[in-house]
Each structure stands twice: as C-alpha cells, then as structure tokens.
Structure 1
Amino acid sequence: MSYGGERVARRKDIDGSSSVPGLYGKELRWKREAAGLSLEKLVEGSFYGKSHLSDIERGERRMPLELARHVDRVLGTDGYFERHCEDVRRARRGGHAEYFEKVLEAEKHALTIEEWCPILIPGLLQTPAYARAVVLASLPLSLDEEVEEKVSGRMARAELFELDHRTPEYWAILHESLVTDPILPPSEMAEQLDRIVELAERRRITPQLILRKLGAHPLMTGPAKIMTFFDAPPLFYTEALHSGDTIDDPALVAEYRKSYDRLRAVALAPKASLAMIKSAAEDYRNGKQPDRFE
C-alpha cells in the first residue's frame, strides 16, 4: 500500500465490535486511508506523533480533544471525531472517576510508576475484596452493579503486571498501618498481603514500608504517584476522597520527585519490608492480629 510515494505496511484489521474505542479507532483508520494519508501526514501540524495516533486507531489510547479537532479539519469529517471522542473517554474510564482519566491512560504507557500510600493499599495492588470494601466505605449507597463496575475497573488496571514486554518498573512505599491495621476479616487481609508478596517475588513490584516510629517524614500530607515515560514529561498525581489532581509542570514535578526520593531514603529496605509483610500475612492466616513493627 502506498500513500504519496511512501510505502506503508498493511496491518491487521481492527475489530470495531470489541469496544467503543475499537470502533472509533477503526473509523479513524478507514477515514485516514480513504483520504490517502499516512499516520505521519495526518498528525503533521499537530503536537502529537504517529505512534500516538496509531495507538488511537488500535483502541489503546484516548483521543485528546485538540487532536480530534485537528483530524476533523484535515480529513474534512465535519466534527465527527471531536463529537465522539468524549464517548471513547467515558468508555475507557471503566468505573473510574473522570479526574482519574489521565492516570488510567498514563499507567499503560509508563516506564516507571512510584507510589506513596499512607492511607490505602494502592488500586494497582488491591484484591477484589479490598477494593470492594474501599468502594463501599466511600460510596455506601452505591448499587451492587455500580460497586462491581468499580471493582472490575481496578482489577483490569493490574493487568499491566502480566504484560512482560510493557510492564513498568513499579515501586510502592506503604505505611505500616496498611499491613498491621486490618480493614478486612483476617483471611481476606492475608489474601491482600499475599498479593503484594506474590508480585514482589515475581519481581513485578518493589514494596517498602514506612514505620510508625519514624515520626515526621516527607510527603506526610497525602498520597503521591509519580510516572515517567519514554516520549513524554513525567506526571505527578495526588487525590482526596472525591477529587484528584494530575500535575505535569516540570518544575513542580521535580520538587515532588525530590520529596519522594527523600521518603524512599527513610523507608525500610525492600527485603526487610517484604519479610514483615509476609509475617503479617501469616499472622492473619492464623487468625492473629499482627503486632506493630518495632
């Protein structure tokens, strides 16, 4: 297949019936090829690269509003892609809040993900029972199907640990209380800690603990998540009960980066942390409340 003298390899067709993003991506490719444009030609004049557009065509990435407008203008599609890009964004959220949308996308393309979790075990590491308890505590009047949609969404995020060629380097610093102060029955707490141990022993994650006895330390005011990428600036994310904030200002992200590195420096070493998590899991399995770490 040739466009303007440029040779383009024919790729596997997209199954537009599989999802809203898949249907959107298939339509985008059909319109692009009907116009005789390569990926490079279509993104020319925008701030995005051909790999970003290719991911959209495969249903793997959302269409930013400014890119949708650019595509409509170049292809003469009378606002079609702008009108429908929000449908795709909603479909991709999968039970997550709108403010979490950037994080959902970023996790799939990150080189590294580093989290500090003072209050809850992070969503990427949660078991269904833990996720369900968190959702019900935050939104106690939710219908069963709404709860299960949110739980399924969290479980789907963890699939990135199973994709060897795309697994990011993941580092989680957890407060001791997440291990020793249960929010679930003992057997379910054991299962939750076993999940962390299993991922660590498969070398998919590196966990560290911040002990209670440490006292004052960096990032005491709330959770933190830093993500880096091959072809984009790093992002910092933090959240409260019903809101979240994604920061991409390089200077501000650099300051958060320093705080995270200082926190990691005072955390318990990964090997010792994992041993304590294993010990707590065994206590829960035996119906025993783990002792606070001293």
Structure 2
Amino acid sequence: MTRVLVSGGTGYAGRFIVEHLLANGYKVTVGGRTAPDPGFFSRDVPFVPLRLDPDADQIEAFDNIYYFVHAAFDHLPGKFRGGEGDDPQGFRRANLDGTVRLFETARDAGVRRCIFLSSRAAYGPRQPGTLLTEEMYGKPETLYGEVKLQAERSLLSLCGHAFVTASLRATGIYGPAGPGRRHKWADLFETYLAGRPVAPRSGTEVHGDDVARAVRLMLDADAVRVNGETFNISDIVTGNREILSVLQRVTHCPHPLPEKDDMPVNAMGCCKIGALGWTPGGKALLERTIAELAADVANTSRPFSAVGL
C-alpha cells in the first residue's frame, strides 16, 4: 500500500482526507501537534509529531512516506480569516515559513508527490458575481489569503519530475465534524432554534468528502496533468435561508427563516479539475447532510416553548 502523510489530519478538513484515503487502500500516517484521541478515526492510524516551525528538523517524519498532503494550519480557534489575532508575525512564521520548510523537507526526504490544501481566499475580493477561475492573478486582502497564495507559489517553485506538486483552492467546507467536535453550522443552528435573529448570508460550499476525493485524484492522476497546477474545489452556492429551511423541516421549528441574501456570490469555476473526472455531490449531498445534522439536533433538543415563538 502507498504510504501517505497527512499533516493536520485531525483538523476539520484533514479528518475527511484521512478517512477517504483509508477507505481507498492508502496507508495513512497523521502528523500534527497532538495524537488523535482513541476512536477518532474509523480505525487506528499511526501518528508522528509534526509542527509548523521553520527552525525544526523534522525529516524523520517523512521516513518511508511516498505522498505528503499538507492540510495543517495554525490559527485562533474557529478563525481562519483573522486567525492571526494580535500576532501576525507569528502567524506568518508558522503558516508560511513553517509550511515552506515542510515542503522542502518532504522533497529532500524523497517524497514523490505533495498536495497543498489552499483556499479561495487567495483570490481576494472581486466584483460581485465574478466567476473565480485559476488563471486569475491572486490579490488577497487578508493575511490568511496572502499566506495561502505565497505558500502555493513556494510549492510551485519546488516542483519537478521527482517532486510532483499541486494546490487545491478549497471553498468553505461543510459536513459532520467527527467525534466530540462541533460542525461548522452548529452556532447557526443554535441561534435559529433559540429564536434569535439570523442575518442573511450566502456563500460557496463543498462537502469535506468531495475535498478528500479531490486530494485522492491529485495523488492518482497522471503527474503531467497535475504537476505545478492549482485547482479550484467548490460545489454550490447556498445560504442561511436554504440551510435553515432543512433544519426547520426536520425539527418542526416554528421560527421564521432569515431573509434571502440577494447579493451576487463569486462562484468558483471547477472545469479544470472536472476535466480530470472530479464531480461534487451538489444540492442532493448538501440537503442530505443538513438533514442528518438537523436530525441530531432534533433528537437532543427540548420542545419549543411559547417564549421562543
């Protein structure tokens, strides 16, 4: 079996990647600051300590590793944009300098392929309604987006015949969070069910399983078709009203839904990775996932009181 090291494997996105690779015959090792709790993954997974530290010599973590998937990111809990808090220098040092050092270490250790989980934030702001495509020049307005874009460029500079690289610009990732974790819409669900106002909001979303399938595609594809390339990973445009309408249906909550957000959304064009055979789950997967998350709420919530109406 092919050995893959996944940094940040216990993170929100990383867990989907680890589980998907395990299910498809890869031998996965998780790298991170702390080992996963027992039972966090569907089966036991080897762990190696791995830090976002440009001064650390971590080449031993890559022993017998053929592929490296870099999904780790150091930020304030619950925040990516603005995740630097009051320490932008430390944020850059860890997430850019530390990431580049891991890329270089992987190459020096003989890793054959490296996949970087980047972000749509690398594009920066565009005129509302603009379709984001990979040939656009990145103009990020946040430190988060700037770090992701610079890491992409650093990885590109390292690619070659013996070190195949690709970056995946993923949009907002949704799905079940795993044992003991809160999913991304947990606060939204709680706000709505408590009868508090919910602001209109729309955005692009992709299921974590679809992100994981994109990662596997990068590992399995002909190197000529992915080496040095960047691919958008996105699925559908949705918003608070649509998400909560499923929750309302499952829980029979009487509270009114938020207004529809009429602001045009900058969708991401995914024709490039689509040409390699990637197809996301679409609206059917979104509705099924929301219904499953909502069912968990319905099974644990107390009945609505007249006070909350």
Task: Give the TM-score normalised by the residue count of structure 1.
Answer: 0.24
Larger Rg: 1
Task: Give the TM-score normalised by the residue count of structure 2.
Answer: 0.23
